[in-house]
Structure 1
Amino acid sequence: MTTPLPERAGRRCHNVLNPLHSTHYFSPDLERELAAVGIEDSRAAYFAVRAAAMGAVGPGTVTATFYNFRHELVAEHLPEVWRTAAPEDVLAARARAVDATLRRLLGEDVIASKEVAEAAELALRATEACRRTARPLYAAHADLPVPDAAHLALWHAATLLREHRGDGHLAVLLDAELDPVEALVSHTATGKGMAPRWALATRGWSREDWEAAAGRLRERGLLDAEGELTEAGVALRQDIEARTDRLDRAPYEHLGAAGVERLTELAKGLLMTAFAAGAFPEGMVGKG
């Protein structure tokens, strides 16, 4: 008989695994490796590395699966980026960058530690319960081979768990009738989302788009005049996360309460080491 998971245990585990996956997006190692295959624009780089598992897809597929990017921005870089570097070359460059990034942030002793090997084993076990149906980004990455090295296997598993949750999250956002900018604005208003200046700089939306979305949220009674979530807005964002948890419960239930607790502990320790090594830019998260 398995022990039931504590409330939000899967979300807590995701919240420390997901940033470990994301370290390479902010890494000079990724910039260097992609430049070596001809990709030098930072926006093109992000679209390429995250979409490459799906093959040489066009802008429509990326806009649909990434959700909160302005389609016109995506179309500036896709499918043109695939004429610069084929998806398999981008995936190889990404793997080299992840290896270099984790070695630099965590250190060789940590990379070779039994804790990293244990975390990789636990995370991969959790992915056994993920399902491809209606989860395109997860399904594409699930078709990629599992790396042999433990730190890369851990990163691969974290990627699968991230995209599995993310695909389900988009279904919940659609059902909540939040368009891409409204989703960004309301998430930022929780204090946990990407800061507006980061969202505007990376997602392709204008300040006018942001303010218009905020206006629509105010009309729905979700945002107040100061840009803070109303009681209804807080309830909606909490419901979105709870429903995302429900759609994402299978891998964590499969791992079990003890396994989830241990994976969370291990991943948190690795994440704190990465944070201390400067893995992420200052001011990226928050309302500023």
Structure 2
Amino acid sequence: MTSSLPQRAGRRCYSVLNPYHSAHYFSPDLGRELAAVGVEDARAAYFAVRAAPMGLVGPGAVTATFFNFRYELVAEHVPAVWETASPSVVLAARERAVDATLRRLLGEEPIASKEVAEAAELALRATEACARTARPLYAAHADLPVPERPHLALWHATTLLREHRGDGHLAVLLDAGLDPVEALVSHTATGKGMSPKWAVGTRGWTRDEWDAASARLRERGLLDAEGELTEAGVALREEIEAATDRLDLAPYEHLGAAGAGRLTELMTGLVRALLAAGAFPAGMTGKS
């Protein structure tokens, strides 16, 4: 597909949309709101809030759509979490947590600004071009109502755009022949993914499974003996991102170059404020 956008404009826009969505995963407000409805385990809370739009799903559906979590870890919490709090209860708790998180990290004045309202309008317009077909997490979230308050409407739109790209990305990873652990290892080797310690600790894989995946990547000539990407590995990861860009082009084409650029500009300011406020834990990304 030929694009009228500047090169990688969609990826640049997505890169500043995603943190606005994902900040709540690391927020004490999420833990507090989920604990208030009986979900006290942090992993159970994560699986619940992200899977709740799909309804009373089991561990198979969650593992398939989340991709890089070990099935056994998911099965420890799903479907048991729904006996504690139904998907509708979880969704209401998540919205309260997102509201509290954004107000705490950004402040009341920025939340109420015309820039946030403009960003919400642009991001929601971008979602008009998203497609449900073969994108289960996006499709489930797209069935949810748009919140009335602009900062939450913006969060909803960034969630849709995040899951839309993510669903396409998983198809690309499968086409590249990467299993969940190999995808994590190779992404970490770029220096842009989760650190091995963080990935092993949060995704349920063992260090032996991580090392085995590294060995398979070395056998394919994608990773060297020091754990760095080879020339072929770099090329594969670049093609994975480029293919993901192609599958995720429609929302940003719908905005046009000016709209995508303006949304990127607005979201960059918001994300810088989130980062400055400590929205994300130290040591989450990197090669060590």
Structure 2 stretches lacking a partner, 5+ long? none
2-side partners of 1:116 and 1:105: how far apart?
14
Equivalence for 2:55? 55
- The answer to whether the aligner puts 1:136 opposite 2:136 as a matched pair is yes
Equivalence for 1:257? 257
2-side partners of 1:220 and 1:248: how far apart?
28
One-letter code aligned to 1:215 = A
Equivalent runs, 1:1-288 vs 2, <5 Å: 4-288=4-288
By how many angstroms is 1:133 displaced? Answer: 0.2
Structure 1 stretches lacking a partner, 5+ long? none
1:57-110, Cα deviation, whole Å (9 max, x unpaired) = 000000000000000000010100000000000000000000000000110000
CA-based RMSD: 0.6
Q: Identity over the aligned pairs, expressed in percent?
A: 80
2-side partners of 1:19 and 1:187: how far apart?
18
More displaced stretch, 249-258 vs 3-12: 3-12
The SS at the match of 2:224 is coil
By how many angstroms is 1:4 displaced? Answer: 1.5
The SS at the match of 2:205 is coil
Normalising to structure 2: TM-score of the pair? 0.99
The SS at the match of 1:256 is helix
By how many angstroms is 1:18 displaced? Answer: 0.3
1-side partners of 2:83 and 2:160: how far apart?
27
1:173-223, Cα deviation, whole Å (9 max, x unpaired) = 000000000000000000000011110110000000000000000000000
One-letter code aligned to 1:229 = L
Normalising to structure 1: TM-score of the pair? 0.99
1-side partners of 2:153 and 2:45: how far apart?
22
1-side partners of 2:204 and 2:19: how far apart?
22
2-side partners of 1:59 and 1:93: how far apart?
21
Q: What is the count of residue pairs matched by the alignment?
A: 286
